Structure 1
Amino acid sequence: MKVLYSILSNKTITVPVIAWFIAQFLKVINVIVVERKLDFTRFVGSGGMPSSHSSFIVSLATVVGKMKGLGSVEFGISAAVAAIVMYDAAGVRRAAGKQAKVLNKLIFSQKEEDRQNFDENLKELIGHSPFEVFIGAMLGMLMGLCFA
């Protein structure tokens, strides 16, 4: 029980998890508002508004900065990891999603017998626009400032 209490009282764990949860919940709400449909798969899926990866990692960096100081090695490491995660979300993963969209169109345009080896579409919504990453980062910073 002491181990569980130690984990649950560790703000570098709990605050990022809460930030991730809120970001994922906001994705479901965003789909309801924009697309007028209820899609609970958005709660566990990647991509979309806001970036939960950015929320998670920026809240972690913010908590570490508040606890250890902005001049600490720990904050430097967490800030560097945050930059990498956000760059990846808006760069590499977004490009992969765009490529998947093109490949799905290409596969779908083929004759039925030529498509038999493709049992499902490639996942298209895996990255983020820079704006989605920014909003996720702002959410993470807010969560870190409020709860750390």
Structure 2
Amino acid sequence: MLFLEQMAKNQVFIVALVSWFVAQTLKVIYTLIKDKKLNLYRFVGSGGMPSSHSSLVMGLSTAVGLKSGWDSIPYAIALSFALIIMYDASGVRRAVGKQAIILNKIIEDRHHHKPIGEQRLKELIGHTPFEVFAGAILGIIIANLMI
């Protein structure tokens, strides 16, 4: 119980959570506007606009920089962590999503000829560079508003 009480008082952790929460909420709103239907799965799903991964890690690293100083070791660690996460979101995870689209098409085409028992792969996994950038900016803004 003491751990939870202390975490609830940790401003840096709260900034990271709020950054994630706002980004996930914006995904639901963005999908509602774009597709004209409410998709609550977008609140917990990965991929999409804006990147909640980027928002969380940039909110975290910005909060660490504001609290510890821009020349501190904790800020250097947090920023390095953020850059790796954002690179992964727009690089590796995006490539996996593109591969899933192709594999799903192959599975779909095969279904017309011969039934196979494969399930569709999740296609919305990674982010475009713009989605990552938007998430990063969102995290920076939230950290500056909260710290």
TM-score (norm 2): 0.96
Number of aligned positions between the proteins? 147
* 1:16–1:57 contact (8 Å) kept in structure 2: yes
Report the equivalent of 1:135.
134
In the aligned structure 1, how far is the partner of 2:101 from the partner of 2:110? 15
1:36 shift after superposition: 0.6
Report the equivalent of 1:21.
21
Report the equivalent of 1:91.
91
- Listed as ranges, the gaps of 5+ residues in structure 2 are none
Report the equivalent of 1:48.
48
Seen in structure 2, the aligned counterparts of structure 1 residues 4 and 98 have a Cα distance that, compared at 3 Å, is same
Aligned-CA RMSD value: 1.2
Seen in structure 2, the aligned counterparts of structure 1 residues 14 and 45 have a Cα distance that, compared at 3 Å, is same
Give the 4+ runs in structure 1 shifted more than 4 A.
none
* 1:55–1:136 contact (8 Å) kept in structure 2: yes
1:93 shift after superposition: 0.2
Report the equivalent of 2:67.
67
Helix, strand or coil: the match of 1:109?
helix
1:48 shift after superposition: 0.2
TM-score (norm 1): 0.95
Report the equivalent of 1:4.
4
